Structure 1
Amino acid sequence: MSYKAILTYAWDFADHGVTESISAFKNMGLNTISIAGTYHAGKFLRPEGKSGKVYFPEDGTAYFRHDDDCYSEIKPLPNSLLAERDILQELCDDGRLDINVWMVLLHNTTLGMKHPNAVVRNAFGDRYFYNLCPSAPEARAYAVGLCVDVTENYSVTGLSLEAPGFTPYAHGYHHEMSFVRQDPMFEGLMGLCFCDHCVSAASKQGFDAHRLKAYVANRIDSFLQSDVDIPDDMGRAFWLAEIATNKDLRTYLDFRAGQVTSLIAEIREAVRQDVDVAIIPSVARPTGGAWYEGTDLKAIGETTGIIEACFYEPNAARIATDLFDLKHRVPTNTTIRGILRPSYPDIESKAEFLSAVDILVAGGVTDIAFYNWGHQRRRNLEWIGEALARVP
């Protein structure tokens, strides 16, 4: 069955009503709701919000009633909405649309603060609390537990897994402050994890991560102590040269990819076999940049068979280019899903949006999702129905 989905949040259903919302989605031509099962913090403008126009989610919480037996040391934090109602269960009980759970796995500041020994650490030992490390056994158990829990206890048809790997240094954190110009080389080195779990796992594979850690720390410190500002284009060239010529770095990047691929394979093996498991590969644009987060697109395609790519671009031509590249990076039998944002900051005109949908369909992508119900104006939501009429 095709996948025509709208990405959603539980708080919007609480605002608009489950029954009424599903009816509206069916009228748009959608057949799937992809609801956030776990999510991070944010500040969201809600044009159609009834109880308010700006919403601050509770950071790092889960939007389903979890079963403690599915977890070890790290357990989900229940969202306060669950004290009143279980939106996910209500969606499943309605039965008119398939229910997919969009799960943010390891990007979780609240849990990182509670479990500091399970988070990413840079070459200086600084903890990145917003990223549970995919090499940490307790973080891996948590990620697997989430997926088993929600698929065993709810009649969901699929999972879309976001943030299974190493979040880039520049992804963003509350009230960041830096008075140093940050270029791609700096960000690449600062985003590498050298926590005890990564160093130990790499050592078991015969790699001296301590040597690379010392090199990276020295390279960063040398830059910070210098009077040099590196323009982005030069930093990008330096970072490419580093990857091409530093054998230790290339080996470590491959190791990172192996950690993420093995975690995803564990999840695929552990959950119900009739559940689709799709990977949202990257917060980077274009999709090919997912390698830095440890997302090996070829290996993931072989492991789950579904890549759900965020085609977050300002025009249809760039989406066509991203898709062209992506199709060369995944096995030929991989299903590519596309996520589009039919509004600012991406595609701002209906004609360009419909053109983007046509390009995806012409490229063989007929499984399409739209981000995000609660963020869009009514007019932009109306474009979705018109777009779906063009999708086989």
Structure 2
Amino acid sequence: MKAGVFLYPWDVVGDPDAAARIADLGVRQVTLASAYHSTRALTPRHPAHRVVTAEHAAVLYPPDPDRWAGRALAPYRQSWTPGDDPYGEAAEALAAAGLEVHSWVVLAHSSRLGAEHPDTSVVNAYGDRYPWAPCIARPAVRDYLVDLAAEAAARPGAHGTELESCGWYGFAHLHAHDKVAGVGLGDAAQYLMSLCFCAVCREGYGEEGVDPETLSVAVRRALEPVWSGGGSPESGRDGIAELLGPTYADATLRRRGRVARTVQEAAVAAVR
């Protein structure tokens, strides 16, 4: 069995002993973040810091200016780890210690992207936007994610890649300092809260033979008992059908599955 770990460049950059220390654990593979979302990370063994705050989603290498020139949607640069290419610096140190380096790419998760380009975000049945969750059905978002996957995954020396959030995001994923634990949302209710009703997705529901306005009304009606204090323990596909009805459940699952597969297949093809 080959043991592996997930690391961030800031775990290695500025710590000359980090790579050897990891190799001495018996680890053979390191999956190293090349594009990651905002986070607060504890670094208990680093000689220069204990906490790193990544303020927004960013790439941890210098993006190709020719690839992104003139495009509205482009990856953001980072500023919290020293150097122009912290991924490259960390990868080189890890490889020199005999470790096999893979890239780790977070795709459809960026609050800054949603804040600066609100038309890219998932919109729920109540009209609320989720800035942390790009709608992967939108062509501009899909093109951006596929190109980001191609660039961030195929870093020099990478032996493989981990594509994270290569699909739909919605209500369930944490956003900033969340205050949502007081309502008992089962995963079926969270699915309903994650259904997107942007213009592109409304058109997509129509292609499934479902009127999007009627669907949004059905979602809100199904969730009404939740907001009145009853909670919603339903889970799985059967739970979605119980809340929304089998016709709407099947239509939304088909639509979301097809969109997700399209993005995933395109991203994997671009990386290869």
Using the size of structure 1 for normalisation, the TM-score is 0.61
For residues 236-289 of structure 1, give each alpha carbon's deviation from its aligned partner in whole angstroms, at most 9, with x where no partner exists: 4983552694211222112111111111100121223xxxxxxxxxxxxxxxxx
AA paired with 2:33? A
Shift of 1:30: 2.1
**Alignment length (residue pairs):** 265
Give the structure 1 partner of residue 58 of structure 2: 61
2: CA distance between counterparts of 1:114 and 1:49?
A: 34
Q: Which residue of structure 2 lines up, in the alignment, with residue 340 of structure 1?
A: none
CA distance, structure 2, for counterparts of residue 85 and residue 118 of structure 1: 28
- 1:179 Cα deviation after fit: 8.7
Unaligned runs of 5+ in 2: none
**Offset of residue 159 of structure 1:** 1.4
Question: Counterpart of 2:134?
Answer: 132
Larger helix share, 1 or 2: 1
Return the letter of the residue paired with 2:120.
A
Structure 1's unaligned 5+ residue stretches are 273-392
Alpha carbons of structure 1 residues 152 and 52: separation in structure 2 relative to 1, 3 Å: closer
Amino acid at match of 1:208: D
Residue among 102, 108, 111 paired with 1:109: 111
SS in 2 for 1:157: coil
Q: In the alignment, does 2:43 pair up with 1:46?
A: yes
Partner-residue secondary structure (3-state), 1:43: strand
Matched, 1:182 2:191: no
Per the alignment, residue 246 of structure 2 pairs with: 246
**Cα RMSD after superposing both structures:** 2.7
Q: How far 1:163 moved relative to its partner?
A: 1.0
Quote the offset at 1:121 in angstroms.
0.6
**1:118 equivalent in structure 2:** 120
CA contact (8 A) 1:132 1:139 kept: yes
Residue 123 (structure 1) shift: 0.5
Query: How many Å separate the matches in 2 of 1:205 and 1:70?
Result: 35
* Contact 2:205-2:251 at 8 Å conserved across structures: no
Are 1:31 and 2:28 an aligned pair? yes
Cα distance in 1 between the residues matched to 2:223 and 2:42:
37
Whichever residue aligns with residue 76 of structure 2, its letter is: L
Give the Cα separation in 1 of the matches to 2:99 and 2:242. Answer: 48
Q: Which residue of 2 aligns with 1:215?
A: 218
Supply the AA of the counterpart residue of 1:200. E
Q: CA deviation at 1:195?
A: 1.5
Query: How far apart, CA to CA, are the structure 1 residues paired with 2:124 and 2:57?
Result: 22
Counterpart of 2:135 in structure 1: which amino acid? C
TM-score using structure 2 length: 0.85
Moved more, 84-93 or 142-151: 84-93
Secondary structure of the 1:260 match is: helix
The question of whether the paired residues in 2 share the 8 Å contact of 1:70 and 1:148 is answered with: no
Give the Cα–Cα distance (whole angstroms) in 2 for the partners of residues 264 and 56 of structure 1: 29
Letter aligned with residue 269 of structure 1: A
Aligned to 1:263: 263
Please say if residues 6 and 32 of structure 1, whose CA atoms lie closer than 8 Å, have aligned partners that are also in contact: yes
* Paired-residue identity, %: 25
Match of 1:229 in 2: 230
Q: Deviations over 1:72-96 (max 9, x none)?
A: 4311101115762412223444543
Distance 1:14 1:66 in 2: 19
Aligned counterparts of 1:249 and 1:112: Cα–Cα separation in 2: 27
